[in-house]
Amino acid sequence: MNQPLRAAMSAVPELDDTQFLRWQSLLEERTGMCLASQRRSFLQTSLGLRMREVGCDSYEQYYERITAGPSGAIEWTTLVDRLTVQETRFFRDPDAFAFVEQYVQQKATELGADETLEFWSVGCSSGEEAYSLAMVGERFLTPAGKRYAVTGTDISTIVLRKARAGRYLPRALQWVPQAYAAIGFKPQQAGEPLQINDELRQRSCFSQVNILNLAACPLQSQHVIYCQNVLIYFRRWRRREILNVLAERLAPGGILVIGLGEMVDYQHPLLEQIHSSRVSAFVRKKTNSEGESARR
Ligand SMILES: C[S@@+](CC[C@H](N)C(=O)[O-])C[C@H]1O[C@@H](n2cnc3c(N)ncnc32)[C@H](O)[C@@H]1O
């Protein structure tokens, strides 16, 4: 920790049990994230730094401020960005992406000329996951003359801004498989930021959606719903509720991909589980009229 930061932190008041519970409940109620008690010092540091920036002396005063009216809502967008874990990278889970590639290659032969393959990255952070999906679409659908579109959603408007810019540090390239580097990025000089190719950016859009409020999100008939490393921060009953909504947003035959172990023993009447030790995914069953029995 550098000197000015250490000095700033020494002035942060202690977050006692009552205050911790109060902030923990607010965070869970508004984002679904359940902050474990071991993360008390993280909460104290994050709140303390923000309180200094906005000139609040006590947790009570800051709590009142953040829960009051429209100005509180604006302040909340900054705080939520500080409190959520936003770690991400391109092609973060290679096995899951191999599964998506397989599905997309299949769809490249099936999709009608007037259809668009829809990808949705739920909890997309700064966009690496959404653009990885776009790269898969660009690699397998565009040469086959088929269209695709990608939507990335997240609660944090700050990460969404980064996602829209589509600009990344050169070292992010280490996570991109060779087959995708030229598809995904504009040519760059050594040391320059990576810039996502225009074709991919034109097919990708990013929007603020709280996963607790999916009812207000109009996305339907998605072919690929990709939701990794978000549900792990939520309680089990909430994970189940969210997956139930996502299941309904899939197109028949569409796939839902979650993180390995993020929700074991999940079942839904619309979904068939993919049996794999490396990928946690589900396929939406087709109805009789779509060529397969819904009651398998
Ligand atoms: C660890 S990142 C995962 C990013 C990406 N999915 C991946 O696996 O690399 C978790 C993301 O979930 C978002 N998030 C947390 N709570 C959320 C909520 N209630 N609604 C939508 N997004 C949320 C965070 O803002 C963060 O960007």
* Domain containing residue 47: 3-83
Does the pLDDT of residue 295 top 60, yes or no? no
Does the pLDDT of residue 9 top 70, yes or no? no
Which of 230, 242, 258 to mutate to test ligand 1, by most ligand atoms within 8 A of the CB atom?
A: 230
Mean pLDDT of 250-260: 97
User: Looking at the structure, do residues 103 and 186 belong to the same domain, yes or no?
Assistant: yes
Summarize pLDDT for 187-232 with one digit per residue, the tens: 988 889 999 999 999 999 999 999 999 999 999 999 999 999 999 9
Q: Quick check: 294 and 285 in contact, CB under 8 A?
A: yes
The whole-number pLDDT of residue 190 equals: 85
Give the CATH number of the domain where residue 23 resides: 1.10.155
Give the CATH number of the domain where residue 159 resides: 3.40.50.150
Under DSSP, the state recorded for 185 is B
- CA-to-CA distance for 280 and 226, rounded, in angstroms? 11
How far lies 209's CA from each of 128, 164, 218, in Å?
17, 15, 10
CA-nearest residue, atom 26 of ligand 1: 86
- CA-to-CA distance for 165 and 131, rounded, in angstroms? 12
> How many domains does the structure of the chain reveal?
2
Q: Is 238 in the pocket of ligand 1 (CB under 6 A)?
A: no
User: Looking at the structure, do residues 111 and 251 belong to the same domain, yes or no?
Assistant: yes
How remote is the CA of residue 154 from the centroid of ligand 1, in Å?
6
Q: Is 139 in the pocket of ligand 1 (CB under 6 A)?
A: no
pLDDT band at 13 (very low <50, low <70, confident <90, very high): confident
User: Looking at the structure, do residues 103 and 195 belong to the same domain, yes or no?
Assistant: yes
User: Looking at the structure, do residues 161 and 134 belong to the same domain, yes or no?
Assistant: yes
Q: Is 157 in the pocket of ligand 1 (CB under 6 A)?
A: no
Does the pLDDT of residue 3 top 70, yes or no? no
Q: How many residues does the chain have?
A: 296
Q: Is 86 in the pocket of ligand 1 (CB under 6 A)?
A: yes
Tell whether 89 is covered by a domain.
no
φ and ψ at 42, to 5 degrees?
A: -65, -45
Q: Is 154 in the pocket of ligand 1 (CB under 6 A)?
A: yes
User: Looking at the structure, do residues 134 and 78 belong to the same domain, yes or no?
Assistant: no
The whole-number pLDDT of residue 289 equals: 65
User: Looking at the structure, do residues 76 and 103 belong to the same domain, yes or no?
Assistant: no
Q: Is 210 in the pocket of ligand 1 (CB under 6 A)?
A: yes
Question: Which residue among 83, 106, 127 closes a domain?
Answer: 83
Q: Quick check: 155 and 84 in contact, CB under 8 A?
A: yes
The whole-number pLDDT of residue 7 equals: 60
Question: Which residue among 59, 83, 107 closes a domain?
Answer: 83
Summarize pLDDT for 39-97 with one digit per residue, the tens: 999 999 999 999 999 999 999 999 999 999 888 999 999 999 999 999 999 999 999 99
Q: Quick check: 50 and 58 in contact, CB under 8 A?
A: no
Q: Is 126 in the pocket of ligand 1 (CB under 6 A)?
A: no
The one-letter amino acid code at 263 reads M
